[in-house]
Amino acid sequence: MVTRTPSPDTRLLFSIMAPAADRPGFWGQPTSTLDWCEENYAVSFYIAEFWNTVSNLIMILPPIYGAIQTVRDGLEIRYVFAYLGLTAVGIGSWCFHMTLQYEMQLLDELPMIYSCCVFVYCLYECFKQKSSMNYFPIVLLLVFSVLVTVVYLQWKEPVFHQVMYGILVACLVLRSVFIVTWVYPWLRPLSYTSLSVFMMGFLLWNIDNIFCDTLREARLRLPAVVGAVTQFHAWWHILTGLGSYLHILFSLYTRTTYLKHRPNVKFICGVWPVIRVEPPKKK
Ligand SMILES: CCCCCCCC/C=C\CCCCCCCC(=O)N[C@@H](CO)[C@H](O)/C=C/CCCCCCCCCCCCC
Ligand SMILES: [Ca+2]
Ligand SMILES: [Zn+2]
């Protein structure tokens, strides 16, 4: 990962310093404050980081299906927002990696904060009355989102965004551990699978950033297929996309169990997990 400020001077400097494997492409000189390890315009003239772009499909398509199913099952609208929030991150991230333009970077990073706030609301409000709305956490999360947005628009420091996002993820982890320790221990496998998959993605995100030079050198010498599978930022998309999706299933399972809806995890085509619910039994 290369960090840069989007001023014209630095852009010129960066174009001089840019690694040899990067090529010019359709969207012009990158203006984003981050440029990931994948070689720019190496696969397509129209897509700056090809693997980092297409790997977002996992964050776009399955949550759309989840949102439709949530509406069909008559479940709470907050879970539709959770699924569609993940889709919004995937679309923003697609646009960012395809163009490497600063405006598109914001479309990727700010929805990460907003959708995580929706996840936090869902998980911290899962033991409340059906369709209840608690305005205090809503206002708190809205103020947090607005503050992060305003500060990040002024202070274009990616580490600030990463720390704010990390705080929200930590809130989710703590609440999940509380739920599976004290309330529904039988949900441990689902919760810990979501957490492990997410953390594995985070590990690969760090490997991609720390060992970028070594990875780029190796890709020059190895067959193209190895080049594709060593795009660890793309793996981060796949694993955090899956981990976040599983987290929504865990949150929805917790909530529907509390509301006595009798949820079940089913596997579409034997592989892709979804939640099906039956209405509460009449007494
Ligand atoms: C209990 C399981 C946790 C599930 C968490 C679910 C949170 C879901 C929220 C949103 C979905 C986002 C999915 C990731 C999209 C990634 C898009 C992306 O790559 N964006 C980059 C630009 O391309 C962006 O700059 C990347 C930022 C990365 C920030 C990394 C911070 C990770 C912090 C993890 C901290 C774990 C703390 C655990 C403490 C116990
Ligand atoms: Ca790149
Ligand atoms: Zn990304």
More confident residue, 141 or 221: 141
Query: What are the tokens at 203?
Result: 């590990």
The residue among 188, 166, 180, 165 whose CA lies nearest residue 111 is 165
What is the rounded CA–CA span in Å between residue 30 and residue 239? 26
pLDDT value of residue 283: 58
Give the chain's mean pLDDT: 92
Query: Cα(214) to centroid of ligand 2, in Å?
Result: 14
pLDDT digits (tens, 9 = 90+) for 181-193: 999 999 999 999 9
Mean pLDDT of 205-227: 91
Q: How confident is the model at residue 125 (pLDDT cuts 50, 70, 90)?
A: very high
User: Which pLDDT value is given to residue 259?
Assistant: 93
What's the pLDDT at 176?
98
Q: For the complex shown, is ipTM > 0.90?
A: yes
- For the chain, give the percent of residues with pLDDT over 70: 93
Go through the domains of the chain in sequence order and give each one's CATH number: 44-277 (1.20.1070)
Instruction: Read off the DSSP letter of residue 121.
Output: H
Structure tokens at 133: 């709305």
Percentage of the residues of the chain whose pLDDT score is greater than 90: 82
pLDDT at 12: 37
20: confidence class by pLDDT, cuts 50, 70, 90: low
pLDDT digits (tens, 9 = 90+) for 247-270: 999 999 999 999 999 899 999 999
The set of protein residues with a Cβ atom below 6 angstroms from ligand 1 is 34, 86, 89, 93, 96, 108-109, 112, 115-116, 119, 158, 162, 165-166, 169-170, 172-173, 176, 194-195, 198, 202, 237, 240-241, 243-244, 247
Q: How confident is the model at residue 282 (pLDDT cuts 50, 70, 90)?
A: low
Q: Residue 212 Cα, ligand 1 centroid: separation in angstroms?
A: 20
Is 237 annotated in some ligand binding site? Answer: yes
Average pLDDT over residues 43-59: 97
For the segment 32-50, the average pLDDT, to the nearest whole number, is 95
Q: Model-level pTM?
A: 0.92
